[in-house]
Amino acid sequence: MIIVMQTKAPDAQIEAVIHRIEDLGLKAHVSRGEFKTVIGAIGDETLLRPEFFAALTGVESVMPIMKPYKLASRDFHAEDTVIPIGRYEAGGRTLAVIAGPCSIESEKQFRDTALAVRQAGAVMLRGGAFKPRTSPYSFQGLGEEGLKILQAVGGEVGLPTVTEIVDVRDLDLVVRYADVLQVGARNMQNFRLLTEIGHFDKPVLLKRNPAATIEELLMSAEYILSEGNHQVVLCERGVRGFDKATRYLLDLSAVPVIQGVSHLPIIVDPSHATGQRDLVAPMALAAIAAGAHGIMVEVHPHPDKAMSDGPQQLTPEAFKVMMQGLRPIAEAVGRCLQGAKATT
């Protein structure tokens, strides 16, 4: 950690920084320049927090040398992590397409969607049973009834299932019914939920909060990893932007950035990011071209009658067209869609 003192900081302030470093068991290296004194803390930086120094009088800025996350870091684990999910996987060279409706509304609606998306090449099923809705007056999901449909239909069509967990008290319930636990964007920093999920042996899909930096997303992954659950798949789904032309602003550069610093798989959700049906396919293709390990797309047999997020859900036909566009892109970047053979 590098501590830069304010111009003309008196010796007593410099000494205070040195003592703080030494108290924490590290060595201080002092470099007095013409204007500024710079102090390096030599040793195990994981014992330090920038705020330990920023709070001291006379300190101008504090610069960490190491990343604040460890288990999520590529420094810790150099190879790409590949997470088995049923007979499919997330991470590595093959691509996972997850599809399904925003909300599970009925057994028929979910089965129709599941059959259609499997037919078109999806290898995992998504469907919300507990829905985090901005308005208390909006449809909140079918609850356990929805989970039962998820599990039943997932079994029928032979695809692993993904569903969101919105309440730490539902954890045992959701774990029982679903194959992958989704932590939604709004719960990315619900640290208690992350900690509890860390105790399960279950893949997790962790979505980035619209106000979260990539580093904060990785710190949230670290909460899960540090409790022992190493099956974390990250998901970019758009950050808050100033242009209302799209619902959120999809940050595709997060894909190569994350792949540079972390070994965890990263997929992209173009449906929530754009909020508009017409933009889903172009952004799905772009995500794969940027190197994502997969995509998660919302599909509904009748988007115009959907109980939530209708405008962004694809019809089964549009999903099929998108999948046809996706295959050559995957090949162009030296990847292939999982389950590709089954669907031709």
Q: Is 271 helix (H, G, I), strand (E, B) or coil?
A: helix
The tokens describing 270, both together, are: 């173009």
Residue 15 in the binding site for a copy of itself (CB under 8 A): no
Per CB under 8 A, 249 contacts a copy of itself: yes
CB of 156 to a copy of itself, least distance (A): 27
Which amino acid belongs to residue 239?
A: V
Closest CA to 226 of 1, 48, 73: 73
| Residue 136: count of CB within 10 angstroms of its CB | 6
Q: Which of positions 157-186 make contact with a copy of itself (CB under 8 A)?
A: 166-169, 186
CA distance 295 to 329: 13
Name every residue whose Cβ is closer than 8 Å to that of residue 134 and which is 6 or more positions away in sequence: none
Nearest residue (CB) to a copy of itself, 151 versus 226: 226
242-252 in b/e form (b: 16+ CB < 10 A) is eeeeebbebbb
Stretch that binds a copy of itself, among 110-118, 150-158, 174-182, 273-281 (CB under 8 A): 273-281
Q: Which CB sits closer to a copy of itself, 151 or 246? A: 246
* Angstrom distance (rounded) from CA 146 to CA 106: 8
**Quick check: 282 binds a copy of itself (CB under 8 A)?**
yes
Is 336 near a copy of itself (CB under 8 A)?
A: no
Binder of a copy of itself out of 137, 172, 201, 341 (CB under 8 A) = 137
Per-residue binding string, a copy of itself, 189-228, x by CB under 8 A, is xxxx--x-------------xxx-xxxx--x--xx--x--
Give the DSSP H/E element, type plus range, for residue 98. Answer: strand 94-100
Pick between residue 112 and residue 164 the one whose CB is nearest to a copy of itself. Answer: 164
Distance CA 304, CA 285 (A): 24
Binding residues among 32-71 for a copy of itself as defined by CB under 8 A? 33-36, 38, 40, 42, 44, 46, 49, 51-52, 54-57, 63, 65-66, 68-69
State which of positions 83-122 bind a copy of itself (CB under 8 A): none
Return the CA Rg of the chain: 23
Q: Which lies closer to a copy of itself via its Cβ, residue 332 or residue 342? A: 332
Cβ–Cβ under 8 Å, residues 170 and 160 = no
Rounded Cα gap, residues 195 and 221, in angstroms: 10
Options 117-125, 144-152, 229-237, 281-289: segment touching a copy of itself (CB under 8 A): 281-289
Residue 30 binds to a copy of itself (criterion: CB under 8 A): no
- Which residues within the stretch 300-329 sit at the binding site for a copy of itself (CB under 8 A)? 303-304, 306, 308-311, 313, 325, 328-329
